[in-house]
Amino acid sequence: MRIAREYEKADQRGVPSLVWRAGQDRRLAMIREAAGRSVGPDFRVLVDGCGVGLYIQALRSWTPQVAGLDIEPERVAQSRSYSPSVTVGAGEHLPYPTDHFDLVLSHEVIEHV
């Protein structure tokens, strides 16, 4: 019961699991490689399903132009500590013009759809 309560508290706070954190650097390296040399101060990124903003935080070290989108207002509020450009919304209906972003990251989202 105690373990279940701890997981429930972590879920409410948006604390990522150790397994998730251990692979984040590897995933970010693959994303950076896929983005290529075009990453710079004008490179625009959208993190669809941004959750508590951990990818926003990491990607802002590449470019200040990082926006987030999440369906849960509580998560959006948390993510705004990393970027003011976080919006409540669904990835199926992006509130941005076509071709606005150079990279759209939607990681670990499909299981929530």
In the numeric block, the tokens 């692979």 are attached to 23
For 23-64, how does the pLDDT look when each residue is reduced to its tens digit (9 = 90+)?
A: 788 888 888 888 887 788 899 999 999 999 989 999 999 999
In the numeric block, the tokens 């990835």 are attached to 91
Domain boundaries, the chain: 2-112
Indicate the length of the chain as a whole number: 113
Instruction: State the distance between the two ends of the chain, measured CA to CA, in whole angstroms.
Output: 29
Give bridge partners of residue 69 from the DSSP assignment: 48, 87
Decide if pLDDT at 7 tops 80: no
In the numeric block, the tokens 């590449």 are attached to 62
Locate 106 and state its tokens: 């939607």
pTM to 2 decimal places: 0.76
Superfamily of domain 2-112, CATH level 4 = Vaccinia Virus protein VP39 (3.40.50.150)
pLDDT at 87: 95
